[in-house]
Structure 1
Amino acid sequence: MTFYTYGYLTTHHNTWQYARIGLLIALLVVFIGLFVHYLRNRWNVKYKDLSIITGVLLLLVLGLQINSLVSLQSATKQSGEISATVQQAAKHLKVSPSSLSINSTSVSDNLLIKSSQGYYRLDYNTDGSAFILEKVTLENPKIKLVKE
């Protein structure tokens, strides 16, 4: 079972996002350079073909980037919700949030919280506005802790 620390939930960033932005900027610079070179030398058609190919790649990466940004926004919202849940549970258990770990990065049923005091199960009410902490005992726990 995998548990995520509070620090991981609050600082987890997608590094591929930055690589895609860098690739997008590099393709844009190459596209502009090739297109300008084609406009200067209209007799050389290979620069026109290369600029079209680069433009198509640029549009493809841009589409992937937009799709990734939508996914990242959804994941950030879910991570914010679970971080708030960990903060509320820490307040209820009278410990700091950094000492807690949770078994999911999004709010769902059957959430478990690992604390220095033991393991707790979170049961949400039907509309998800409140929860109950119930102390549980895990049989043969095989815990993997994911930190920052």
Structure 2
Amino acid sequence: MTFYTYGYLTNHHSNWQYLRIALIIALLAVFIGLFITYLRHSWNVKYKDMSIITGTLLLLVLGFQINSLVSLRSATEQTSEITGIVKNVAKQLDVQPSKLAVNATTTNNNLLIKAPSGYYRLAYNADGSAYVVERVQLQRPKVTIVKE
């Protein structure tokens, strides 16, 4: 069973976003350079073909980036929900949130919290608006903790 620390939940950001932005800027610079070269040497068709290929790659990478940003936004919203729950449980258990770990990065019905005093399960009501924290005993837990 994998548990994620509070630090992991709050600081887990994708560094691939910066690499993709750098790739978009590089492709845009190459595209502009090839297009300007084509305009100067309009008799040479290879610059036109290369600028079309680069423009197509640029649009493809832009599409991936937009899709990734939408996914990142959704994941950030879900992570903010789970960190809020961890803060509330920490307040109820009278411990710091950094000492807790949770078994999921999104909210679900089978949420387990690992605290220094033991394991706790969150039992949600029917509409999911409230929960009860109850202590549980795990039989032979194989716990892996993912830290930041």
Scaled to the shorter chain, the TM-score interval is: over 0.9
1:66 equivalent in structure 2: 66
Q: What per-residue deviation string (whole Å, max 9, x for no partner) do you get for residues 54-90 of structure 1?
A: 0000001111111111111000000000000000000
- Number of residue pairs aligned between Structure 1 and Structure 2: 148
1:136 equivalent in structure 2: 136
Report deviation, 1:127.
2.2
2:21 equivalent in structure 1: 21
Q: Quick one: which amino acid aligns to residue 18 of structure 1? A: Y
1:90 equivalent in structure 2: 90
Q: What per-residue deviation string (whole Å, max 9, x for no partner) do you get for residues 3-35 of structure 1?
A: 000000000001111111111111111001100
Unaligned runs of 5+ in 1: none
**Matched-pair identity in %:** 66
Q: Quick one: which amino acid aligns to residue 54 of structure 1? A: T
1:50 equivalent in structure 2: 50
Distance in 1 separating the partners of 2:88 and 2:74:
21
TM-score, length-scaled by structure 1: 0.98
Unaligned runs of 5+ in 2: none
TM-score, length-scaled by structure 2: 0.98
Distance in 1 separating the partners of 2:54 and 2:19:
18
Q: Which runs of 4+ in 1 moved over 6 A?
A: none
Cα root mean square deviation, aligned? 0.7
